[in-house]
Structure 1
Amino acid sequence: MDKELFKNLIHKVENGTATDEELSTFNAYMNRLSTGQNSAFSPIENEDAIRDEMWANLQAAITPVKTRRLNWYIPVGIAAVLLLGISIGIHFLTANPTPEKEWQAQVDHDIKPLGNAATLTLANGKKIILTNRVGGVLAVQQNAVIHQTAGGQISYTDADKSRGSVAFDTLTTPSGAVYNLKLGDGTTVWLNASTSLRFPESFPSGKRELQLLYGEAYFEVAHRANAPFSVRTTQGLVEDIGTHFNIRAYADEPTEKTTLLEGSVRITAQNKIQAKLVHGQQAQLNHTAVKSLNVINVDLDEIMAWKNGLFLFDNEKLSSIMKKIAGWYNVKVAYQNDAIKNEVFYGSISRFKNVSEVMDMLERTGNSHFELKNNVIFIKPKQ
């Protein structure tokens, strides 16, 4: 690849127009740079000059690179960091890739995520198993007619009957599955894996309240000025003021996180701690013995990766990555030593790959060896 082609490749990655093969090539060059001279950019403001310097460092750092087609891509944000010239030595994918040897994870059996799957429990206790089957009417209740659409969504519409008392249904997803729900008021909710949401079949009064029993869900609320919308969790209440927001509230995590993508929300905990969020902010509620509510700015791409069908790693330790993988594929993880947990990765891969493919990507680009036996992923240093 000559200089101009290289600079054109950077443009494509930055603009999000690069093909998978071009992204693979870019990844391979960045990996080789990170094991080369590790020289930092000088303080150059002109982006074209930065690319020139990247090219010069690349020529000094590499021999001809033989690229492998990997299902990883560099997030636009990381590409921008490279172009801003923070450091040629920034580690992409992992600190010390081993291109000289083809590594492959070992599995005794493979695990495929379920995709779109959930269980709908009606107010009368009847359970309906939801998959990607052909759409149609699932149930006719006193307050609503429930439809399923092809592609993983259930939709509620008001029944043409006199409403009695409000009935509540519950939608629950297992490990390795997501599902989409459209409420009778037009609000749409996406449920992540291992999540349970309790909601009314209809909204006859001026108040709309749902309960996130556990897990993670993203809400796009149909705003109604005379009918406030709120989501209750085990730790508090999230009140909508015309907004899109994400709540993460897994029981095995010490912090409940509410992230705002559009509009505004008000968080109330313990009936006294309050915070109001604006775009790009996250409220972190610690539900240990000492209650605290902190507000920080976050990377929305990272927060919403699950909804977009991705595992997204941005300078993330292997221990954190494997917690996500273990929860999604319903497996356990065992490390040979604690040092392995600190290996750092950048990149992204589809959450709908088989677990063997995810392990293989980590194996090929890292310093650890992965084996899946009896639903346990064993991780040890490469020999």
Structure 2
Amino acid sequence: MNSNSEIKSLLQKFVLNQCTPEETNEVIAYYKKNQLTDDFPTVEDIQQLLSEMPKMDKQTADAIFMNILSTSKEEGKEESVIEMPARKSNFRKYISIAASIVVLLGIGFFYKQSLSTKSAEKQFDFKSTDIVLQLENGDIQVISEKNSSIVKDAKGNIVGNQTGDKLVYENNSDPEKLVYNTIKIPYGKKFRLQLSDGTFVHLNSGTTLKYPIKFIAGENRQVFLDGEAFFDVAKDKKHPFIVNADNLNVRVLGTHFNVSNYPEDTVTDVVLVEGSVGMYSSNEEFDALKNTILKPGFKGSFNKENTKISTKAVLTDIYTSWINGGLTFRNMTFKNIITKLERRYNVTIVNKNEKLANEKFNASFKEESIENVMSYFNEIHGINYTIKNNQILIK
């Protein structure tokens, strides 16, 4: 690699994961020579790491290069110098930064971050202690119930105000298109949210809700739920409110209802307290004559496997008691109960008694500690356990 053009060409090929092993070896050799260090991965190590990363297109590679350059300028970090003629100073800086950051596979970090943005929801650690708000541009804002904060849109306008365990969105903005925020509630916590139309939402632990910062006239008011939430929907006959829970849509005009859509459950449950609710598959259009319409005091259960909906009369207080700290299990397997206890109390439960896993239980608790809940299972069902720190071992 005697010419600048060859160096630049090889580095670009390296970023695009197009180098042969021999060319990769040339890049490494060049880096070692100019950085005066042997503390560097072997060509085999780097080829292995590169093979684990998908190839990116040239436009993405160029964009990441520019990001690295601009970041280096902003942070004012020292740059390693590669001796070149003065008239090549800009290129020298480019090669210096590219060689030191790209060859060290920092490029993989930036690229993997960009790839993971869409799946950030699944990567969120629900066992953390932070309530997290993801803004429309992907930025993360941590919410502390002990403090107050404001939420801004991409233009810097205030769209929401948070105080304690409640976040309220304003109704004074006028976006041209739907702009979404996503809130994620960790294990062991609950939160309250007021949407721009006045709809009030109670969010249970381990729940994610995606919603517009402002609903748009002429369009349905649609939100996306993973987990459990109780909705007190502001009435608006012209704009139906739709909760999407994976493959189920729940459609209302203004009412009170609970939706439970946790991944371990085989069904998504909708419990209607007041008003009227329509239930239908998310790939269908709503049809009042064909779809399931719930009446107050009924629960609709959407089977995730066969997409069928069944209904039955229930005591709604049982299914909404979680808002005030209650906890209810109805004909539930013990392995599912464990998952829900972990979510509610942010603990880790290890079950060594495999026979218990598929046994079904019924139980209801008011606002109880995890110690009292486990004591109940021990007294009534003879389940032996030990608690140490935040871990429970069932023997």
Shorter-chain TM-score bucket reads 0.5 to 0.7
Cα pair 1:236 1:271 within 8 Å, conserved? no
Tell me: CA distance 1:178–1:280, structure 2 relative to 1, closer, same or farther (3 Å): same
Runs of 4+ in structure 1 deviating by more than 6 angstroms, as ranges, are 314-317
Partner of 1:129: 142
Cα pair 2:181 2:213 within 8 Å, conserved? yes
Whole-angstrom CA distance in 1 between matches of 2:365 and 2:381: 14
Q: Tell me, which stretches of 5 or more residues in structure 2 are unaligned? A: 1-126
Whole-angstrom CA distance in 1 between matches of 2:175 and 2:331: 53
TM-score calculated relative to the size of structure 1:
0.60
Matched, 1:338 2:355: yes
- Kindly name which structure, 1 or 2, has the bigger radius of gyration based on alpha carbons: 2
- CA deviation map 1:155-184 (0-9, x unaligned): 00034x553322111111112221110011
Q: Tell me, which stretches of 5 or more residues in structure 1 are unaligned? A: 1-112
SS in 2 for 1:206: coil
Instruction: Give the superposition deviation at 1:379.
Output: 2.4
Instruction: Give the superposition deviation at 1:133.
Output: 2.0
Whole-angstrom CA distance in 1 between matches of 2:330 and 2:309: 25
Cα pair 1:349 1:358 within 8 Å, conserved? no
Instruction: Give the superposition deviation at 1:285.
Output: 1.1
Partner of 2:163: 149
Whole-angstrom CA distance in 2 between matches of 1:373 and 1:249: 31
Sequence identity of aligned pairs in percent?
A: 26
Aligned CA RMSD, in angstroms, stands at: 3.0
Partner of 1:7: none
Cα pair 1:245 1:260 within 8 Å, conserved? yes
Matched, 1:368 2:383: yes
Instruction: Give the superposition deviation at 1:312.
Output: 3.3
Whole-angstrom CA distance in 2 between matches of 1:233 and 1:341: 26
SS in 1 for 2:265: coil
Cα pair 1:197 1:210 within 8 Å, conserved? no
Which residue identity does 2:338 align to in structure 1?
M
Instruction: Give the superposition deviation at 1:209.
Output: 2.8
- CA deviation map 1:112-157 (0-9, x unaligned): x989x5211111222111121233434355575210123x010000
Whole-angstrom CA distance in 2 between matches of 1:294 and 1:345: 20
Cα pair 2:240 2:251 within 8 Å, conserved? yes
Partner of 2:228: 216
Partner of 2:185: 173
Whole-angstrom CA distance in 2 between matches of 1:347 and 1:316: 12
Partner of 2:218: 206
Whole-angstrom CA distance in 1 between matches of 2:158 and 2:215: 10
Partner of 1:35: none
Matched, 1:308 2:324: yes
Cα pair 1:317 1:345 within 8 Å, conserved? no
- CA deviation map 1:64-121 (0-9, x unaligned): xxxxxxxxxxxxxxxxxxxxxxxxxxxxxxxxxxxxxxxxxxxxxxxxx989x52111
Which residue identity does 1:326 align to in structure 2?
E
SS in 1 for 2:184: strand
Cα pair 2:350 2:392 within 8 Å, conserved? yes
Cα pair 2:347 2:391 within 8 Å, conserved? no
Which structure shows the bigger proportion of residues in strand conformation? Answer: 1
SS in 1 for 2:263: coil
Tell me: CA distance 1:277–1:118, structure 2 relative to 1, closer, same or farther (3 Å): same
Partner of 1:378: 393
Whole-angstrom CA distance in 2 between matches of 1:340 and 1:218: 29
Write out aligned runs for 1:34-113 (5 A): none
Partner of 2:273: 261
Deviates more, 1:337-346 or 1:170-179: 337-346
Instruction: Give the superposition deviation at 1:245.
Output: 1.1
- CA deviation map 1:174-233 (0-9, x unaligned): 122211100111000111111111111112313243332411111100001222211122
Which structure shows the bigger proportion of residues in helix conformation? Answer: 2
Cα pair 2:209 2:226 within 8 Å, conserved? yes
Matched, 1:350 2:367: yes
TM-score calculated relative to the size of structure 2:
0.59
Partner of 1:297: 313
Instruction: Give the superposition deviation at 1:249.
Output: 1.3
- CA deviation map 1:301-345 (0-9, x unaligned): 221122221123578775554342133224233142526975856
Select the residue among 310, 322, 342 that pairs with 2:338: 322
